[in-house]
């Protein structure tokens, strides 16, 4: 956008515009940090048109999706297994786990979950970024299951990201619930 | 009487001719009898007269001979008696010869008188001849007395008896004179006979005259009779016919002539009846036609009035036409002027067309060069497209790098979050990296979009350039056709110039013609005025015709059908 605005200008003006934009962004971030509000970080992923947030504490890393080996007799949510850094990782399709149809392209990202045995990775369309929201938006895991309770633990409405990186609203996923549904 | 009139007239003419012919024949016969009578009288009377003359001469000669003998004797007696005997013989001989002659004549005349008396033509002549016969008888008696006395004297002469001679001489002389008187009386009697003959001839003439007159009168009477008969046979029927014709002339066509027959009057009657029938038809037709004529005359009058009105309109129209033709004349002059201007313009247009031809030829060349330039541009654009593909590959690479950087930043952020408070600054770096990666990605996306637009633009440019090349070729073709068109147009303009020159000439001729038209319109105006006058006359004439038709109707009413 900024490059588009300054694409046709001379290099000096473009450099000046870039520097101004960077300075404005840094100034905005400083204003937000000064509020010093307690936030919880979520990794926001895109599955189709939906946006889901994974707790950042449960995430070990993000890699590009690679071809994985399918397992016979596996449920449809289990895409297969792959080897990452010498460890065999089971790849679950997040969209299939949530009951959504997913397009078959292999250009997505894979989110590796932390502290799971066996190691599990979630295949998503794209990892958008990290959002910081107020912790009150997520319901407690220990609450008794209410009617229709699934693996989702809450919803962050649009504009709830404190960093301003993610503008859309997204659903909060309770990773243990999700995994207990699909690994047992 | 069924004879035709011609035959009747011919019959009358024949009768009159027969009467005239009979009259002529009768008159000729009377003339012939008169001529015969005259011939007869002349022959007889003249013959008798000549014989009487001879008788007179012979008697005179006889007297002379006797006297000579007496003289001779007396001379001898006085002394001179030389050769008397011979002479006496001669006297006696000649005397006897005369006597014989005289006697013969007397007998002849007497016999002729008797004959003529018996065959005399009229009683008067018979009486005259009878008187002549009696006179002649006296003459014969006197002759005999003279003869005897003379013979005795002559014998006395022979006997030389002078005394006897002398004594007897007086007696003989007296007797001889009586003879001569008797002959003279005979001649007188013959004159009476001649007069009686003349009287008889005139009597015959009178009789003929009378009879001819009677015959003429009779023929006149006969002619009158024939004429009257012809009149009866011809004139009366003709009078009937004339009465009938007069009746027809008076207008009565109801009657018919009853006289029929084979003669001319009958045929005339038939013909007249046919004529009356024809006249009746004619009168009927005439009456109907006169009625029609009356109606037609009224219509003619009405139409003549309409015609008068239309002639007035025509006159006005001719006036307007004259005004219009005048305007046409002006406009024709303007046309001529405009045509001259158009000729100048067209010549200028021809000049322009020639320059346009040159310009079009240059345009064709320029089109050709445009096409070549367009092909070169297409080649350049293709080369540019290859360059943009290379840029796309570079962009893919940059995008991949930015993606990796994005993931790297995320992992760094995750690691920083996992590191807790010690990783906070690292998280800042990671977020910066992510920001850069996102900006790089956005920039590559923009570049990719721009590249796509450039590619589409290049494709469109290629297509447009090819289209431009095609259009340049088509433009060249069109320019060529334009060149041909301009050539044709120049030719047309030349033709147009000629045409306009012809138009100018034609317009001039048209002006002349329009002047003639003006003259003709003048004539038409005069003619329409004359026509108006004639129409008024026609109206008057139609009025007269109406009156005439009414008169004719009155006349036709005269005929009683």
Cα dihedral A44, A46, A51, A55 sign: negative
> What's the confidence (pLDDT) of residue B349?
83
Q: Cα–Cα distances in Å, from B92 out to B47, B56, B141, B184?
A: 30, 19, 21, 26
Residue numbers in B near A2 (CB within 8 A)? 439
- Would you tell me which residues 398-437 of chain B have a C-beta closer than 8 angstroms to some C-beta of chain A? 403-404, 406-407, 410-411, 413-415, 417-418, 431, 434-435
Omega cis (within 30) before B466: no
ipTM: 0.75
Instruction: Judge contact between B138 and B94, C-beta under 8 A.
Output: no
CB neighbour burial string for B356-382, b if at least 16 within 10 angstroms, e if fewer: bbebbeebbebbeebbeebeebbeebe
> What's the confidence (pLDDT) of residue B130?
84
Instruction: Judge contact between B483 and B364, C-beta under 8 A.
Output: yes
Cα dihedral B29, B30, B32, B37 sign: positive
Query: Around B330, how many Cα atoms within 13 Å sit in the side-chain half-sphere?
Result: 5
A55/B386 Cα distance (integer angstroms): 47
* Residue contact A56–B439, C-beta within 8 A: no
Q: Is the pLDDT of residue A2 over 50?
A: no
Q: Is the pLDDT of residue A4 over 80?
A: no
Q: Give the pTM.
A: 0.39
Residue numbers in B near A60 (CB within 8 A)? 414, 418
Question: How does pLDDT run across B468-509, given as a tens digit for each residue?
Answer: 888 888 888 888 888 888 888 888 888 888 888 888 888 888
* Residue contact B414–A62, C-beta within 8 A: yes
Out of B407, B417, B450, name the one closest to residue A62 (CB). Answer: B407
Q: How many angstroms away from the CA of A125 is the closest CA of chain B?
A: 13
Which of left, alpha, beta for B513 (phi over 0: left; psi -120 to 50: alpha)? alpha
Provide Rg for chain B, Cα atoms: 85
CATH fold of the domain at B309-558: Helix Hairpins (1.10.287)
* Selected residue with higher pLDDT from B435 and A116: B435
Q: How many angstroms away from the CA of B493 is the closest CA of chain A?
A: 57
DSSP string for A67-102:
--B--TT--TTEEEEEEETTEEEEEEEHHHHTT---
Question: How does pLDDT run across B388-429, given as a tens digit for each residue?
Answer: 888 888 888 988 888 888 888 888 888 888 888 888 888 888
Query: Around B166, how many Cα atoms within 13 Å sit in the side-chain half-sphere?
Result: 6
* Selected residue with higher pLDDT from B322 and A138: B322
User: What tokens were used for B526?
Assistant: 């005069």
Q: Does A60 touch chain B (CB under 8 A)?
A: yes
Instruction: Judge contact between B265 and B259, C-beta under 8 A.
Output: yes
Greatest distance between any 2 Cα atoms in chain B: 280
B300/B315 Cα distance (integer angstroms): 21
B54/B48 Cα distance (integer angstroms): 10
Residues of chain B with pLDDT under 70: 1-3, 78-90, 260-261
B454/B325 Cα distance (integer angstroms): 75
B375/B468 Cα distance (integer angstroms): 9
Q: Is the pLDDT of residue A149 over 80?
A: no
Residues above pLDDT 70, as percent of chain B: 96
CATH number assigned to the domain covering B5-234: 1.20.120
Which of left, alpha, beta for B448 (phi over 0: left; psi -120 to 50: alpha)? alpha
User: What residue ranges do the domains of chain B occupy?
Assistant: 5-234, 309-558
Number of H helices and number of E strands within chain B?
7, 0
Question: How does pLDDT run across B108-127, given as a tens digit for each residue?
Answer: 888 888 888 788 777 787 88
Cα dihedral B237, B242, B245, B246 sign: negative
B393/B398 Cα distance (integer angstroms): 9
């Amino acid at each position: 956008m900024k490059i588009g605005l300054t694409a046709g200008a001379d290099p000096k003006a473009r450099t000046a515009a870039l520097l101004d934009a960077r300075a404005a962004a840094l100034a905005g971030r400083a204003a937000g940090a000064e509020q010093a509000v307690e936030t919880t970080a979520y990794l926001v992923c895109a599955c189709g048109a939906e946006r889901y947030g994974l707790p950042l504490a449960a995430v070990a890393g993000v890699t590009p999706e690679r071809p994985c080996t399918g397992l016979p007799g596996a449920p449809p949510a289990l895409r297969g297994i792959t080897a990452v850094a010498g460890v065999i990782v089971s790849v679950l399709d997040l969209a299939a786990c949530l009951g959504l149809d997913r397009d078959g392209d292999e250009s997505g990202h894979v989110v590796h979950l932390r502290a799971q045995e066996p190691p599990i990775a979630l295949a998503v369309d794209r990892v958008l970024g990290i959002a910081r929201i107020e912790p009150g938006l997520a319901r407690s895991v220990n609450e008794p299951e209410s009617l229709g309770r699934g693996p989702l633990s809450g919803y962050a409405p649009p504009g709830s990201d404190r960093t301003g990186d993610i503008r859309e609203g997204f659903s909060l996923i309770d990773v243990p619930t999700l995994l207990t549904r699909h690994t047992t | 009487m069924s004879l035709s009139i011609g035959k009747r007239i011919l019959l009358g003419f024949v009768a009159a001719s027969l009467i005239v012919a009979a009259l002529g024949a009768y008159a000729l016969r009377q003339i012939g009898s008169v001529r015969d009578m005259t011939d007869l009288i002349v022959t007889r009377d003249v013959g008798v007269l000549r014989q009487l003359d001879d008788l007179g001469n012979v008697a005179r000669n006889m007297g002379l001979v006797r006297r000579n003998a007496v003289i001779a004797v007396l001379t001898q007696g006085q002394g001179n008696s030389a050769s008397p005997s011979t002479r006496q013989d001669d006297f006696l001989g000649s005397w006897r010869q005369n006597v014989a002659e005289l006697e013969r004549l007397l007998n002849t005349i007497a016999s002729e008188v008797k004959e003529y008396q018996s065959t005399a033509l009229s009683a008067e002549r018979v009486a005259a001849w009878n008187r002549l016969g009696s006179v002649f008888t006296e003459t014969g008696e006197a002759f005999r007395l003279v003869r005897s006395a003379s013979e005795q004297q002559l014998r006395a002469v022979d006997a030389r008896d002078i005394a006897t001679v002398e004594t007897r001489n007086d007696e003989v002389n007296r007797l001889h004179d009586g003879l001569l008187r008797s002959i003279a009386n005979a001649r007188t009697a013959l004159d009476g006979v001649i007069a009686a003959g003349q009287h008889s001839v005139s009597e015959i003439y009178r009789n003929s005259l009378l009879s001819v007159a009677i015959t003429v009168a009779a023929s006149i009477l006969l002619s009158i009779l024939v004429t009257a008969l012809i009149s009866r046979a011809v004139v009366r029927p003709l009078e009937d016919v004339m009465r009938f014709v007069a009746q027809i002339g008076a207008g009565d066509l109801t009657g018919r002539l009853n006289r029929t027959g084979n003669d001319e009057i009958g045929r005339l009657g038939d013909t007249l009846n046919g004529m009356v029938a024809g006249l009746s038809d004619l009168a009927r037709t005439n009456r109907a036609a006169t009625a029609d004529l009356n109606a037609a005359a009224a219509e003619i009058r009405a139409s003549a009035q309409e015609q008068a009105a239309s002639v007035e309109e025509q006159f006005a129209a001719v006036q307007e036409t004259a005004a219009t033709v005048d305007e046409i004349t002006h406009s024709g002059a303007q046309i001529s002027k405009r045509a001259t201007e158009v000729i100048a313009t067209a010549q200028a247009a021809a000049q322009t067309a020639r320059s346009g031809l040159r310009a079009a030829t240059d345009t064709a060349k320029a089109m050709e060069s445009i096409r070549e330039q367009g092909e070169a541009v297409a080649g350049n654009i293709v080369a540019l497209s290859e360059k943009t593909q290379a840029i796309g590959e570079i962009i893919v690479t940059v995008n991949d790098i930015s993606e990796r950087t994005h993931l790297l930043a995320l992992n760094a952020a995750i690691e920083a979050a996992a590191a807790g408070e010690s990783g906070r600054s690292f998280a800042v770096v990671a977020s910066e990296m992510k920001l850069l990666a996102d900006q790089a990605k956005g920039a590559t996306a923009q570049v990719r979009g721009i590249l796509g637009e450039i590619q589409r633009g290049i494709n469109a440019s290629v297509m447009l350039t090819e289209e431009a090349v095609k259009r340049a070729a088509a433009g060249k073709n069109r320019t060529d056709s334009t060149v041909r068109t301009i050539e044709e147009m120049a030719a047309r303009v030349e033709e147009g110039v000629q045409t306009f020159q012809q138009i100018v000439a034609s317009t001039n001729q048209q002006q002349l013609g329009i002047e003639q038209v003006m003259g003709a319109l003048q004539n038409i105006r005069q003619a329409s005025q004359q026509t108006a006058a004639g129409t008024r006359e026609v109206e008057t004439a139609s009025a007269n015709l109406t009156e005439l038709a009414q008169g004719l109707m009155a006349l036709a009413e005269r005929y009683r059908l």
